[in-house]
A and B are shown apart, each in its own frame.
Chain A
Amino acid sequence: MSIQDEALPVGTAPGTPLLRVRDLHVEFRTRESVARVLNGVSYDVEAGETLAVLGESGSGKSVTAQTVMGILDTPPGHITGGSIEFKGEELLTATDKRRREVRGSGIAMIFQDALSALNPVFTVGFQIEEQLRVRRAMSRKDARKRAIELLEQVKIPNAAGRVKQYPHEFSGGMRQRAMIAMSLALDPELLIADEPTTALDVTVQAQIMDLLKELQLQRQMGLVLITHDLGVVAEVADRIAVMYAGRIVEHSDARSLYRRPSHPYTEALLESVPRLDLKGTELRSIKGLPPNLADIPSGCPFHPRCKRVRDVCRTDVPPQHEPEPGRLSACHFAEELVAGD
């Protein structure tokens, strides 16, 4: 199957999407082994749209983001195939200079742990201003003015005073806001948020998610939200890509995915989360462990943990099915799942 023939998920208008990732392969090579971390990841993000990338540790969700950003550590990482197009422009073959230009002003990223993402020996203001001065050739004075505006946009009270403070003087939620302000400094068209609220308390998490939604709407940014939290995804995502063992196993619009998952892994994930509104007795846990990426199981990588496993799953890698228009599932029995056997 050629890349062009691949069925495209819902919301993907013909023409050029903001970001188009196709058949991305990444390996981590160490002395002992080769871990196949990404095994053909494809997705699109449109302007103003939120794509949630959902998965557990080691599923490849952060590596995909790092590859798109061009901040993957090489070595041990090696990009062995695929393409990443930003507004129609291929990034993987672009020069370092061009990639630097895109980074920040085209695609920006925020991270889980704001304390380690910010430099502790410079003030928050300096770190925001630095990019404005280098990339936009602004004067110190203008950069400071703009930094204060940005801090105000992310609703940091007393921005004019806060701009002179160091990261350790900020609380966890404020630090996350400061990092968001920094990522917005060069007006990116696409924001990648890698577990932006995982380290935060629920009440603060809600504030930050509200802020991200609001900023996205104002700026019509594309947002790639990387998370393992099924609750957060349900509240903000337009589309969801579920990753397992370096593959997207299900790609669907948010409502359909929660109503009727088309991959057994998604189904199992949904059954295994404790819910605030349901007091269950026993959670249906997924047996076993995620696979070792240096030794991915034959056939469907999920088959050793799947409760719907059949013989074909052990031998054949499932092709992409389109069980419903606009939905993709890498399960041999996707149609059955959606039909609700």
Chain B
Amino acid sequence: MTDNIIEVRDLTKHFPVRVGVLFKKTVGHVRAVDGVSFELKRGETLGVVGESGCGKSTLAQVLMRLEPPTSGQATFEGRDMFAMKGAELRKLRRDIQIVLQDPYTSLNPRMTVGDIIGEPFEIHPEVAPKGSRREKVRDLLDVVGLNPEYLNRYPHQFSGGQRQRIGIARALALKPKVIVCDEPVSALDVSIQAQVMNLLGDLQTEFGLSYVFIAHDLSVVRHLSDRVAVMYLGKVVEIGTEEEIYERPTHPYTQALLSAVPVPDPELRGKRQVIRLEGDVPSPVDPPSGCRFRTRCWKAQDLCAQEEPALVTRDAGDHPSACHFAEQRAIVP
């Protein structure tokens, strides 16, 4: 067996755009994820970065099998994820868990913390026999750094950071192999964000987890990821190790994204290279022809409108980049 736990090939997810009340007519498709391929190695963290609407959360939902894909393949430990049924699918649902962004809406306010974390055991009783569940929940609370005595409290009695820990404990309950983290720290304050990021790092080492870490904050992604995929309008435009992406980016979008991140050091003010993108991200209903980034790209030429650049390793770089004119440029000071 390869050491790839998840392999994704040409995954697409299109949502139909319908108009009309009675006779709904499909007038187009939102191409949320449009041909994404990557692999996730056992024990590694793959960061997925991109701006709102780039398809990163849809990708998470398809990987969780919460949404069926429009086309494409994905395997989990070598077996086709989308063909799974019955017992095999139940097993898959145990093995891939998710931590959501908003700790205020992702926990049921009418359930106690014990019930929230213990609920996965109701669905998968084979993991913990009934008598031992209470104990398991206590252990989980302890693992995520919460007082096990908080079992009978309700979510509103906790702060944002503590709630996110509860969400993480719930994700850990079924001893998953992969956790998809969809913006797990973006709703938290800086001092709390660091606590949760450290916790995610510790849990990975302790349980040998693989993470798909989705975030819009490039600094957070760099801190936790081994490899990083940069998404723009439903496509991966550049993928590589954390060092390749941050030290030697070759795609203009990655370069612009990196240069836009403010660095907390006033000494660097005015000394950094700044690439300012014009305008907004185009609509995913009608993405530009050829390279999707060309409408905002300063390097765009006729070729970019005609031919879609493939995500391949090019002469100028040491990792795959979907730009006809890929070239290395150091952005991060």
Residues of A within 8 A of B (CB): 56-57, 157, 171-174, 201-207, 209-210, 228-235, 237, 254-255, 258-259, 268-270, 272-277, 279-280, 282-287, 289-290
The digit string for B132-156, where 1 denotes a CB below 8 A from any CB of A, is: 0000000000000000000000000
**Closest Cβ–Cβ distance, residue B306 to chain A (whole Å):** 25
Assembly CA distance A104 to B116 (angstroms): 48
Contact status B264-A230, CB under 8 Å: yes
Say if the beta carbon of B125 comes within 8 Å of chain A.
Answer: no
* Residues in A whose Cβ lies below 8 Å from that of B216: 201-202
Question: Chain A residue with minimal CB distance to B242?
Answer: A279
* Residues in A whose Cβ lies below 8 Å from that of B265: 234, 258
Contact status B194-A285, CB under 8 Å: yes
Question: Chain B residue with minimal CB distance to A289?
Answer: B159
Can you offer 6 A-B residue contacts whose CB atoms are under 8 A? A171-B280, A201-B52, A202-B257, A277-B263, A280-B223, A283-B198
Q: A274-B219, A279-B223 are contacts. A286–B260 as well, Cβ < 8 Å?
A: no
- Which B271-292 residues sit within 8 Å CB-CB of chain A? 274, 276-277, 279-280
- Which B205-242 residues sit within 8 Å CB-CB of chain A? 216-220, 222-223, 242
Say if the beta carbon of B266 comes within 8 Å of chain A.
Answer: yes
Contact status B189-A57, CB under 8 Å: yes
At the interface, is chain B mostly helix, strand, loop or mixed? helix
B261's partner among A174, A231, A290 (CB-CB below 8 A) is: A231
Say if the beta carbon of B197 comes within 8 Å of chain A.
Answer: yes
Say if the beta carbon of B76 comes within 8 Å of chain A.
Answer: no
Known A57-B160, A233-B264, A277-B333; 19 more pairs at CB < 8 Å: A171-B280, A201-B51, A202-B261, A204-B51, A206-B260, A230-B264, A234-B268, A255-B267, A259-B267, A268-B191, A270-B264, A272-B194, A273-B190, A277-B332, A279-B242, A282-B201, A285-B194, A286-B191, A286-B195
Say if the beta carbon of B30 comes within 8 Å of chain A.
Answer: no
Among A173, A206, A255, A258: residue with most chain B CB under 10 A: A206
A229's partner among B197, B220, B262, B276 (CB-CB below 8 A) is: B262
Contact status B223-A283, CB under 8 Å: yes
Assembly CA distance A33 to B261 (angstroms): 41
Q: A232-B262, A276-B246, A277-B333 are contacts. A206–B276 as well, Cβ < 8 Å?
A: yes
* Residues in B whose Cβ lies below 8 Å from that of A230: 190, 264
Q: A174-B280, A203-B256, A232-B262 are contacts. A274–B189 as well, Cβ < 8 Å?
A: no
Assembly CA distance A165 to B198 (angstroms): 46
Contact status A274-B191, CB under 8 Å: no
Contact status A276-B219, CB under 8 Å: yes
* Residues in A whose Cβ lies below 8 Å from that of B52: 172, 201
Assembly CA distance A235 to B266 (angstroms): 6
Assembly CA distance A247 to B219 (angstroms): 29
Assembly CA distance A219 to B215 (angstroms): 37
Contact status A210-B276, CB under 8 Å: yes
Contact status B222-A276, CB under 8 Å: yes
Contact status A234-B266, CB under 8 Å: yes
* Residues in B whose Cβ lies below 8 Å from that of A290: 189, 191
Assembly CA distance A235 to B242 (angstroms): 25
Contact status A276-B332, CB under 8 Å: yes
* Residues in A whose Cβ lies below 8 Å from that of B263: 231, 234-235, 275-277
